[in-house]
Amino acid sequence: MILHLVRHPKPAIAPGICYGQLDISAENVAAVAIGLRDELPPGLPVWSSPLQRCRDLANLLHPVPLIDDRLAEMNFGDWEGRPWDSIPRLEIDAWAADVAGYVPPGGESALMLQQRALAFVNSLDLPEVVLVTHAGVIRTLLAHWQALPPAEWTQLIFAYGSCTSIELPR
């Protein structure tokens, strides 16, 4: 199976805010869609995160994109909508010490995100698809398929509006 993992365009939110599952719009969605249409094979099915910054792009890539909650970004719980520098230092340090397993208060861990994203991918039975999603989803999926240790997950960086394609054995 070939997966085209598309990260949403830049969110329309002030810098320095933790926005995980906040449902916010994105900037320059139409321009990003035009660029991606030139890059992606035509006619592929498109699945999207339910969050607006992904849905808006998916709607421009396909007349009827499918929505799946398992493609949503990591839930940062009590951190959502807060400036990163207002989150208690002890909590940030605990997360940095255990990037994969730490659960922000009221949220989920990166491993929990990875499990739901893998469950989604494993439910697909198509030769090639487009997934419009988030950096956290893309990062945890690629980390799994590349067998990266959690300490290296944060080294996987994806630009807004970019597409990362991968072929998985079936």
Q: How far apart are CA 130 and CA 44, in angstroms?
A: 7
User: Strand 128-133 relative to strand 46-48: parallel, antiparallel, unpaired?
Assistant: parallel
Spatial separation of the C-alpha atoms in residues 34 and 48, rounded to whole Å:
17
Q: Which residues are paired to 23 by β-bridges?
A: none
54 residue type, one letter = C
Q: Give the pLDDT of the chain (170 residues) as one tens digit per residue.
A: 999 999 999 999 999 999 999 999 999 999 999 999 999 999 999 999 999 999 999 999 999 999 999 999 999 999 999 999 999 999 999 999 999 999 999 999 999 999 999 999 999 999 999 999 999 999 999 999 999 999 899 899 999 999 999 999 87
Residue 161 confidence (pLDDT): 97
Output b/e per residue, 49-71; b: 16+ Cβ within 10 A: bebbbbbbbbbbbbeebebbebb
pTM of the shown model: 0.95
pLDDT of residue 169: 87
Which string of b and e fits 89-105 if b means at least 16 CB within 10 Å? eeeeeebeeebbebbbe
The ranges assigned to domains in the chain are 29-43+57-68, 72-123
Provide the CA 29 distance to its chain's centre, in angstroms: 16
pLDDT at 170: 74
Q: What is the DSSP letter of 46?
A: E
Q: Are the beta carbons of 133 and 49 closer than 8 angstroms? A: yes
